[in-house]
Copies of this chain bind each other. A is one copy, B any other.
Amino acid sequence: MGITTKELAKICGVSRTTVHRALTDTGRINPQTKDAILKAAKDYDYRPDLLARGLVKGQTFYIGVIVLDVNNRYFAQMLNAIEMEARKHGYFINIALHENNKAMEKEQIIRLADYRVDGMILSSVNQGQEYKDFLNSFDIPIVTIDNKVAEGIPFVGIKEREAAREAVRRILEKGYEKMVFVCPPLSDRYKENIYVHEQRLEGFNEAMRQYPDREAVVIDKKDNLKLCAGQLEDSKRTAFFCSGDIFALELMKYLKSKGLASPADYGIMGFDNIDTLEYVTPRLSTIDNSAEQVATTAVNLLFELINKEKTETKRILDFAIVEGETITAQAET
């Protein structure tokens, strides 16, 4: 690396402490010596070793971000927003992926802690009391997003249940006779954190209860494309409500290969409003859960925790229904 304060001190004929004072502009110091030191620092292109500084100050100005993977549009949008918001505060980010693997998530968190990040933002696949204890065992502020780990852990999310309920209501108002809720296997609770999907399912069920004349189906199997397609075999007017845009897109693609298109043959609604949708026809109806807003809110909450400002540790944001072209009123006969 470059030059150190020690060498600068020798060059300027002063002590390291004086150099430090000049560089950090603290304490009393003779303006002339200060100028001389600053000039030398510039000439020799001095730059502080951030590791050393972090070691002694116990603060690195890094926040760790742990998510599933970056390939997912939702996380990519999130990440971008987190980086920008963090940078505004003079912080940088350290990204770690857990690939939906509980053990890997733990390892990544441990490593980030060992690297002394000042805080973390975590989209967890783990949950429960035991994991809560694990997270609390670090004396580092951690803000969770998307999936709730447990009560008491700082969390930023949206009103998942209300969003689902509202969406289903709107769909049913359009006269669909059958509603199919599609999500990842809920029985995988022991394998991953399916908090958001459970919440959305609850919202779905709540809304369906108010329309007892309509048929409700839940598909949470692994290989669900075929199962979904099967739902279209009766003559009922059917709509799919997918817990995630990606899955909605996959389903539309699959159904298209079978010669079926929305909105003519089926209704479909997603969740997330990922930006891929801009380019897809027909425009998918979906729910905007404002990844960017969740991201910036999480970062700001994290900073409040880092700075030990007293603060509410739970922030639930609003959602917005995005009317696309895949949910339509009953066609005239």
Q: Which residue numbers of A lie inside 8 Å of B, CB to CB?
A: 1, 45, 47-52, 54-55, 60, 69-71, 73, 76-77, 79-80, 83-84, 87, 92-97, 110-111, 113-116, 137, 139, 249, 252-253, 256, 275-276, 278-281
Listed A/B pairs (9) with beta-carbon separation below 8 Å: A1-B113, A48-B114, A50-B111, A70-B70, A70-B80, A80-B97, A92-B111, A94-B95, A253-B278
Please determine whether B51 and A55 come into contact, CB atoms closer than 8 angstroms.
yes
Tell me whether chain A's interface is mostly helix, strand or loop, or mixed. Answer: helix
Identical subunits present: 2
Please determine whether A94 and B94 come into contact, CB atoms closer than 8 angstroms.
yes
Please determine whether A139 and B1 come into contact, CB atoms closer than 8 angstroms.
yes
A276, closest chain B residue (CB): B276
Q: Which residues from B are CB-within-8-Å of A77?
A: 71
Report the minimal beta-carbon distance from A228 to chain B, rounded to whole angstroms.
Answer: 16
Q: Which residues from B are CB-within-8-Å of A93?
A: 94-95
Please determine whether A47 and B97 come into contact, CB atoms closer than 8 angstroms.
no
CA distance A278 to B76 in the complex (A): 18
Please determine whether B80 and A50 come into contact, CB atoms closer than 8 angstroms.
no
CA distance A247 to B3 in the complex (A): 46
Of the candidates B50, B60, B249, the one whose C-beta lies within 8 Å of that of A279 is B249
Report the minimal beta-carbon distance from A65 to chain B, rounded to whole angstroms.
Answer: 9
Of the candidates B55, B60, B76, B114, the one whose C-beta lies within 8 Å of that of A55 is B55
Q: Which residues from B are CB-within-8-Å of A80?
A: 69-71, 97
